[in-house]
Structure 1
Amino acid sequence: MAEAWYEKSFGQDYLLVYKHRDMQGAQAEASRMAGWLTLAPGANILDLCCGMGRHSLALAEEGYRVTGMDLSEVLLAEARRLDERGQVEWVRGDMRRVPLQGPYDGVVNLFTSFGYFETDEENGAVLREIGRLLAPGGRFLIDFLNARFVERHLVPSSERQDGAITIRESRSIENGYVCKRIVLSEPGKPDRCYRERVRLYGLDDFRRLLAGTGLKLDQVHGDYDSGTYSEEESKRLILVGTKEGA
Structure 2
Amino acid sequence: MKDWYEKSFGEDYLLVYKHRDAEGAAREVKKMISWLDLPPSARVLDLCCGTGRHALALADSGYRVSGVDLSDVLLREARKSDDRGRVEWHQADMRRLPLDGGFDAVLNLFTSFGYFREDGEQLKVLREIYRMLKPGGRFIIDFMNSPYVRSHLVPESEREAEGQRIVEKRRIERDFVIKDITITPMQGDGAQRQYHERVKLYTLEQMKQMLSDAGLAVDEVHGGYDEDEGYEEHTSERKIFVGRRPQSSKQA
Percent of aligned positions that are identical: 55
Deviation at 1:214, TM superposition (A): 2.1
Secondary structure at 1:244 match in 2: coil
Aligned length: 245
Hey, what does 2:242 align to over in structure 1? 240
Q: Provide the C-alpha distance between the structure 2 equivalents of 1:221 and 1:93, rounded to a whole number of angstroms.
A: 28
Which residue of the partner structure matches residue 38 of structure 1? Answer: 37
Q: Which runs of 5+ in 2 are unaligned?
A: none
Mapping of residues 112-127 of structure 1, within 5 Å = 112-127=111-126
Q: Normalization by structure 1: what TM-score?
A: 0.98
What is the Cα-based RMSD across aligned positions, in Å?
0.9
1:84 aligns to what? 83
Q: How does 1:71-220 map to 2 (within 5 A)?
A: 71-186=70-185, 187-220=188-221
* Residue 182 of structure 1: how far off its partner (Å): 0.6
Q: Structure 2 counterpart of 1:241, which letter?
A: G
Distance 1:152 1:146 in 2: 10
Distance, in Å, in 1 between the alignment partners of 2:55 and 2:198 is: 24
Q: Any conservation in 2 of the 1:45–1:65 contact (CA below 8 Å)?
A: yes
- The list of structure 1 runs, each at least 4 consecutive aligned residues, that deviate by more than 4 angstroms after superposition, is none
Deviations 1:106-139 (A, max 9, x none): 0000010000001110001100110011000000
Aligned amino acid, residue 174 of structure 2? N
TM-score, normalised to structure 2, is: 0.95
Deviation of 1:159 after TM superposition, in Å, equals 0.7
Shift in Å, 1:211: 2.2
Q: Deviations over 1:141-187 (max 9, x none)?
A: 00000011011001111111113211111111111011101111013
Letter in 2 for 1:177: F
> Is the contact between residue 137 and residue 243 of structure 1 (CA under 8 Å) also seen in structure 2?
yes
- 1:34–1:62 Cα contact (<8 Å) kept: no
* Cα distance in 1 for residues equivalent to 2:96 and 2:215: 17
Distance in 2, Cα, partners of 1:105 & 1:141: 12
Give 1:208 deviation, angstroms. 1.2
**Residue type matched to 1:141 in 2?**
I
AA in 2 matched with 1:221: H
Task: Give 5+ residue unaligned stretches, structure 1.
Answer: none
